[in-house]
Chains A and B, each alone.
Chain A
Amino acid sequence: MTERVLTARFQTPDSHRLSTYQADGGYQAAKKALSMKPGEIIDLVKASGLRGRGGAGFPAGLKWSFVPKDSDKPKYLCINADEGEPGTFKDRYLMELDPHAVIEGAMIAAYAFCANHAYIYVRGEFKLPMMRLEAALEEAREANLIGRNILGSGYDLEMWVHPGAGAYVCGEETALIESNEGHRGMPRLKPPFPAVVGLFGGPTVVNNVETLAYVPHIVNRGAEWFGSLGPEKNGGTKLYGVSGHVKKPGLYELPMGTPLNEIVFGVCGGMRNDRKLKAVIPGGSSTPVLTADEIKVNMDFDSLAKAGSMLGSGAVIVMDEGTCMVRVAMRLAKFYDHESCGQCTPCREGVPWIRKILVRIETGRGCRQDPKLLLELCDNIQGNTVCPLGDACAMPIRALVTKFRDEFDAHIEKKQCPIGGFQNPWPSIKIQACKVS
């Protein structure tokens, strides 16, 4: 049985309340941290090797250390709870079931780089997580765990929930900052990096909810303990959100580096209706797809990078043999088209073209050179945009076209989708299709 850290309290009745959190040892780490020097906390988190759970896997302690110590501007912590990457549904449970862990982790992080203001940027649709966070913040304020002179330490921290309003791009850290300032969510060019010029012009750290929720545990149990939970440079457990055609989809906390085939066939009970596995998207919609033959890979940052994909947000999307990969590509392209902020040409123009070409292939109007054209478009987008949203479209589309090229060619040759789009799980109910778009 593997150790559960982040989800250990999920079954506790009233786990979201301060009383139960404190009964389980909550805010002990904060107390300990406040007795340490900020730099010591950064060193501890650096030593643990904690890597960001929001997608890129950047070392958290290192990121905090980039904040200039001598800045005369106020510093800020933005907690990224935008959770927009398709397939991802982990942070919402942390916020719903253990909001104080998120707050405590954020507080320790803010203290470590001397920020006095923090905003939790929660996607607008998450009403319950926001309610839970706001109630928890209220409790924390009353208990002097947030606010002025926290527990007599002399340290002040204000923390607020800031709602998003439905824009995937606002999960990107500089777009999030823009949105937090009350603007359209247009990503900024880097440099300058947020650690130097971020929210309201001040040095800013943006960290994912899951990253921060780990911080109290590291303070309590040490860097070595954290490292020992996973492979080298990939410490800790990870929240994997599994969706799609498995028997038991859901959120699982497992050691970092758990093999993907074990997740699909062990933890999740294997494939639904015992159909054959066709492909898995290992880390959210932006990560390159793996074929059934490629899933012996370990689910950690470095192993997946070596396998040509990414751990991303740990969102595992499982697809069975009846899945049309052209349709999958088309649906993803539709998403990125909808979410492009439109600020740079390769993404604004290229992504809609990818979508249009995929629609025409899927609806039987594709031309022989279309797959090649798609790959060219991907090449022209990737690396040429202000923010990584362009890459996030190009990478999965390239992998789908390359790895399932025969399916694309079959669509074009037969002038139709051999499967007829996504499978209807309710074949007894006749459903007339809306337009393909």
Chain B
Amino acid sequence: MIEKIAIGPETEKAIAEIIARYPVPEAALIPALHKVQDELGWLPLEAIDWVAGRLSLPKARVYGVVSFYTMFRRSKPGRHRLEVCTNLSCSLMGGEHLRDYLCEKLKIQPGQTTSDGRITLTEVECLGSCGSAPVMLVDDAFYENLTPETVDQILEQLHQKETRGGVS
């Protein structure tokens, strides 16, 4: 399927500014990919092509970078992303159990999206927040010292945001 993408002028402007920070434009590749992903929510092939064109790089060169870094999403996520850390400090405090709890509640495995397209669950490595383990990112925001109860609340909040209408 071909994704129609449109990169807004603000992202374009931001990328132009970033390019000016480096002696060679290709050094702006990772920050530029972040900007495009922030706008689109993920990096469809068309977005990769666009970035390649913008930085005058071969598409394969850009794709190689995209596939190296775990934060770049090559498939479309659900409307919300839960990224639960199960590395050591978190799992000592229940990180793996929280992951399993989320799997059970959402009826998906890590790496999957709920059938209504609402939530994508991923298991991630240490998020640099181990002193307040267990930790999860919800759409890039840190949630710390989690318990099954607080996870329930977070899911409820996401649900309410959506039912109140509008894309959140």
Minimum distance in angstroms from A358 CB to a CB of chain B? 13
Question: With A86-B88, A86-B89, A243-B92 in contact, is A165–B27 under 8 Å at CB?
Answer: no
Contact check, A249 vs B87: say whether CB atoms are below 8 A apart: no
Question: Would A429 and B130 count as touching, CB distance under 8 A?
Answer: no
**Is B148 a contact of A163 with CB atoms below 8 Å?**
no
- Chain B residues lying within 8 Å of A162, measured Cβ to Cβ, are 30-31
Say which residue of A128, A158, A200, A422 sits within 8 Å of B97 (CB atoms): A422
CB distance from A262 to the nearest CB of B (A): 18
Chain B, residue nearest A158 (CB): B21
Does any Cβ of B come within 8 Å of A189's Cβ? no
Bound-complex Cα distance A433 to B96 (A): 9
Cross-chain contact A181 with B26 (CB below 8 angstroms): yes
- Which residues in A have their C-beta under 8 angstroms from that of B91? 331, 422
A74 and B23: CB pair below 8 A?
A: yes
Report chain B residues within 8 Å CB of A341.
68
**B1 smallest CB distance to A (angstroms):** 25
Is A4 close to B, CB under 8 A? no
How far apart are the CA atoms of A25 and B52 in the complex, in Å?
46
> Which residues of A sit under 8 angstroms from B127, Cβ to Cβ?
125
List residues of chain A with CB within 8 A of the CB of B64: 184
Residue on A nearest B25 in the bound complex, by CB: A182
- For chain A, residues 97 to 130, give those with C-beta under 8 angstroms from any C-beta of chain B: 123-128
List residues of chain A with CB within 8 A of the CB of B89.
86-87, 243-244, 317
For chain A, give the interface size range: 35 or more
| Count class of interface residues, chain B | 35 or more
| A165 B100 Cβ-Cβ under 8 A | no
Knowing A167-B70, A434-B99, say if A319 contacts B92 (CB, 8 Å): yes
A338 at the interface (CB under 8 A from B): yes
Q: Which of A144-177 contact B (CB under 8 A)?
A: 158, 160, 162-168
Please name the residue on chain A nearest to B94 by beta carbon: A425
By beta carbon, the residue of chain B nearest A126 is B128
Contact residues, A227-277 vs B (CB, 8 A): 241-245, 249-251
Whether the pair B94, A244 counts as a contact (CB closer than 8 A) is no
Q: Is A328 in the interface zone, CB < 8 Å from B?
A: yes
Which A residues lie within 8 Å of B148 (CB)? Answer: 426, 429, 431
Q: B125 and A242: CB pair below 8 A? A: no
Task: Check: B103 CB closer than 8 A to any chain A CB.
Answer: yes
In the complex, which residues of chain B have a beta carbon less than 8 angstroms from the beta carbon of A123? Answer: 128
A222 at the interface (CB under 8 A from B): no
Please name all residues of chain A whose beta carbon is closer than 8 Å to the beta carbon of B24 when the two chains form the complex.
181-182, 200
Q: How far is the CB of A202 from chain B (nearest CB, A)?
A: 9
Task: Scan residues 18-56 of chain B and give those whose CB is less than 8 A from a CB of chain A.
Answer: 21-24, 26-31, 33-34
Which residues of B have CB within 8 Å of A429?
101, 148
A344 to chain B, nearest CB (A): 16
Q: Is A180 an interface residue (CB 8 A)?
A: yes
Interface string of A394-436 (1 = CB under 8 A from B): 0000000000000000000000000001111110010111110
- B84 CB to closest chain A CB (Å) equals 11
Cross-chain contact A335 with B131 (CB below 8 angstroms): no
In the bound assembly, the distance between CA atoms of A118 and B99 in angstroms comes to: 39
Residue A185 is within 8 A (CB to CB) of chain B in the complex: yes
**CB-based contact A424/B94 at 8 Å:** yes
Instruction: Enumerate chain A residues within 8 angstroms of B65, measured Cβ to Cβ.
Output: 182-184
A354 within 8 A of B: no
In the bound complex, residues from chain A placing their C-beta under 8 Å from that of B132 are 249-250
Cross-chain contact A184 with B68 (CB below 8 angstroms):
yes
Partner of A124, one of B23, B34, B94: B34
What CA separation (Å) do A285 and B91 show in the bound complex?
A: 13
Tell me whether A163 and B30 are in contact (CB under 8 A): yes
Nearest Cβ on chain A to B66's Cβ, whole angstroms? 9
* A435 CA / B88 CA spacing, docked (Å): 17
Chain B residues positioned under 8 Å from A183 (CB to CB): 65
- B-contact bits for A81-99, CB 8 A (1 contact / 0 none): 0011111110110000000
Contact B99 A317 (CB under 8 A): no
Residue pair A331, B131 in contact (C-beta under 8 Å): no
Q: Is A179 an interface residue (CB 8 A)?
A: yes
Q: Is the CB of B23 within 8 A of A241?
A: no
Known: A422-B96, A424-B94. A125 touches B130 (CB 8 A): no
A339 to B148 alpha-carbon distance, docked (Å): 29
Contact status B130-A87, CB under 8 Å? yes
Shortest beta-carbon distance, B94 to chain A, in Å?
A: 4
Distance of A93 Cα from B22 Cα, bound (Å)? 27
Collect the chain A residues with CB atoms within 8 Å of residue B141's CB: 127
A-B pairs with beta carbons under 8 Å apart, 7 shown = A86-B130, A165-B34, A331-B91, A422-B92, A429-B148, A434-B100, A434-B110
Please give 8 more A-B residue pairs, beta carbons under 8 A apart, in addition to A424-B94, A426-B148.
A88-B128, A125-B127, A165-B70, A184-B68, A315-B130, A422-B94, A425-B93, A425-B97
Residues of B within 8 A of A (CB): 21-24, 26-31, 33-34, 64-65, 68-72, 86-89, 91-97, 99-101, 103-104, 109-110, 124-133, 137, 140-142, 147-148
The 10 closest A-B pairs by CB, nearest first: A165-B69, A182-B29, A166-B71, A166-B70, A243-B89, A243-B130, A86-B126, A184-B68, A425-B94, A182-B26
Chain A residues in contact with chain B, CB under 8 A? Answer: 74, 83-89, 91-92, 123-128, 158, 160, 162-168, 179-185, 200, 241-245, 249-251, 281, 285, 315, 317, 319, 323, 328, 331-332, 335, 338-339, 341, 421-426, 429, 431-435
